[in-house]
A and B are shown apart, each in its own frame.
Chain A
Amino acid sequence: MMSRNSMYTNPKPCKHLADYKLRHGLSGYNLLQEQIRTTPSGKSSVKNHQTEIPRCCFCNGYQKRLYLCLICSSISCSSHTLLHSQCENGHDIAVDIERSELYCVLCCDQVYDPDFDKIVMLKHLMDLPRSGNGVDVSAGRRSSKRRRLCSALELDLKKTKQLVSMRDLRAKSCYPLGLRGLNNLGSTCFMNSVLQALLHAPPFRNYFLTGQRNHEVCRKRSSDRLCLLCDIYVFFSAVFSGDRTPYSPAQLLYSWWQHSANLASYEQQDAHEFFISMLDGIHENGVKARSPIKDTGECHCVAHRVFSGQLRSDVTCMSCGYTSTTYDPFMDISLNLDTGNCPSTDLANKSLKPSDNTYVSTLLGCLDLFTKPEKLGSDQKFFCENCQERQDSVKQMSIKRLPLVLCLHIKRFEHFPVRRMSRKIDRYMQFPFCLDMNPYLSSSVVRNRFGNRMFAFEGDELDTSTEFEIFAVVTHSGTLDSGHYVTYLHLKDQWYKCDDAWITAVEEEVVRASQCYMLFYAQKMLYYKANEDLVCQPVSPRADPFLPIAGCC
């Protein structure tokens, strides 16, 4: 079973490989399997005797690439493979000894055969201490995948038909729905900026606008206590009401203060911290209101359904190759800026990459950095279950499951507790409007560890899309102590700058040049659906089309 992902469709075998397969099938591969050895770092080589040095049978050389004939096991160097094929008819397919990769002598090129790769992989896995190592070659379907899809659809498709039916198709030239300035209530731009982003996170928005949050029967409200979810609901209704005068989210601010008492002040707060604490508040309020779900470990509150994903962390022992894998949920991913610095060239003046001044940080660079294998320092030696002692190890992160809405946080605030100093990193970072998260998925990352192999991987999420579209950017300007947050929203192919109470349409270059702090991406399908519904309506102060109609839920 092969992944439908276009990056991994099998190249067609050359004529010679096809002939070889017809004649010999898998027998050559199977006989070779015994001789394959894999290092802890994942490199597979063919070694028939531990100490014998393989040499070319024509020139006795051992310095070049050596190829082992699959039919007669004779070894030739890259200069003499053709000679061997000429001497022996049909001996066209060989294996690169050092890399365990197939080579066609007549095509003078590397060739690929999933059957071969499977055999190499199996041997590798068999040799690893305690099989598993996070890789299961069998393809199993999990029912939780279905549940997630259903959850996404529920939040999106079913109820938005209501919105669509209420469109006024005549209105074309006014601003889209849900665009409303937010008054600054005293250094609350950190809150306003995040709220603007939340207002337009497709599944989040739909949840609150389509009456899934039934605030009529909220128990807390009826007993006159504060309910964060109800306050958010009221907030959404107000912003999407069509009234364009700037709104003061005072009730919401007060509600949030109740929840995060430690952050309740008129000081400027960190927008990211606000975002996390807001989601946390929604989760706590949501969980109490619902009956406990079956033990799936997945929370069904709107915050989790929209934003939560799962990270995978692999720690590999450098001595024996044993890998310990853990999974952790996440609501957002915090990324360090990639600066293009590399350790070994710091010492010398010569370096391959141009100096820091001209290297541009990019989001993809940051994501690469996030999923790069990281050598753990000698003070962080990992206790290897297999070796039964502390060993040097390598850690690698990857994304096991993507959320519907991906929030990426760029770590621009550096804190030095020892020196009791904090500073902001102003470095510009380039970010794309369309993001394909496929290379950062666990399935891709783990697959890369095994080199150039073609095989189906347990984690291949065939039906989940990895393509995301940006819909909001929260930017920060100024210093750590006195700065300002502004959000750019991407609605219906137009960018809008939301600076507290002032909303203006801007060109995309402005957004690209901005200093991003938090990036919000939605799964492509959800983003385009959401934008279909956002046709503007004329201002009607009294009419509120988005209150739930009684009886319809």
Chain B
Amino acid sequence: MSAKRSSINRPPTPDVDRDRENQEPTLQEIINIKMIESGEKERLKELLRERLIECGWRDEMKSLCRAYTRKKGRNNVTVDDLVHVITPKGRASVPDPVKAELLQRIRSFLASTAT
């Protein structure tokens, strides 16, 4: 791919006068960056995945997807469609104990990296 990276094919440079570039990163962004750098984010994602599978959430989403696909017809559905349809339902149905556990983990992470 380096052969094709001539200046003609470069993606457009973002506008210089956009404010975003010069703003200070928000607290949320700082936390997120710290979590990714330390690998904690990946671990939390794995944990979340495990919990959501265990409690049947993933199977529930799968059957929602199947029902939607059956209704629309297999060839009339894209992954993007499914993501749009499932996301609100998915977010709403995460069980409370799972949320609690993850929040607890994030809190302890923050406590341990507080400088």
Contact = CB atoms under 8 A, between A and B. Distances in A.
Interface of A: 28, 31, 39, 41, 51, 53, 57-58, 60, 62, 65, 71-74, 78, 84, 87-88, 103, 107-110, 340, 342-345, 347-348, 350-353
The 3 closest A-B pairs by CB, nearest first: A109-B78, A74-B11, A110-B79
Contact of B11 (A51, A65, A72, A342): A72
Nearest to B51: A344
B78 A88 contact: no
A423 B31 CA distance: 53
A84 B55 CA distance: 39
Contacts of B98: 344
B14 A58 contact: yes
Contacts of B60: 352-353
A353 B56 contact: yes
A84 B83 CA distance: 21
Name the residue in A28, A58, A344, A348 with the highest tally of chain B Cβ atoms < 10 Å from its Cβ.
Answer: A344
A342 B55 contact: yes
A60 B14 CA distance: 9
Contact of A88 (B11, B57, B79): B11
Contact of A87 (B11, B46, B79): B11
A318 B36 CA distance: 20
Interface stretch (B65-73, B89-97, B105-113): B89-97
Interface of chain A: mostly helix, strand, loop or mixed: loop
A54 to B, nearest CB: 10
A294 to B, nearest CB: 45
B12 interface: yes
A108 B83 CA distance: 11
A347 B79 contact: no
Contacts of B56: 340, 342, 345, 352-353
A344 B78 contact: no
B1 A108 contact: no
A39 B36 CA distance: 15
Contact of B1 (A65, A73, A340, A350): A73
A289 to B, nearest CB: 50
Contacts of B83: 65
B113 to A, nearest CB: 15
Contact of B95 (A58, A87, A108, A344): A344
B54 interface: yes
A74 B13 CA distance: 12
Contact of B55 (A53, A110, A351): A351
B9 interface: yes
Contacts of A58: 14
A109 B33 contact: no
Contacts of A87: 11-12
A160 B50 CA distance: 53
Given A87-B12, A110-B78, A343-B54, 10 more contacts: A31-B1, A53-B36, A71-B4, A74-B11, A109-B78, A342-B54, A344-B55, A345-B56, A352-B56, A352-B57
Nearest to A59: B20
Nearest to A24: B4
B24 interface: no
Interface in B26-64: 32-33, 36-37, 42, 46, 49, 51, 54-57, 60
6 contacts: A39-B46, A53-B32, A57-B14, A84-B11, A87-B12, A108-B79
B46 A71 contact: no
Nearest to A72: B9
Contacts of B42: 39
B54 A108 contact: no
B80 interface: yes
Nearest to A84: B11
Given A53-B36, A344-B54, A352-B57, A108 B78 contact: yes
Contacts of B1: 28, 31, 71-73
A347 B54 CA distance: 13
A347 B97 contact: yes
Contacts of B46: 39, 41
A35 B66 CA distance: 33
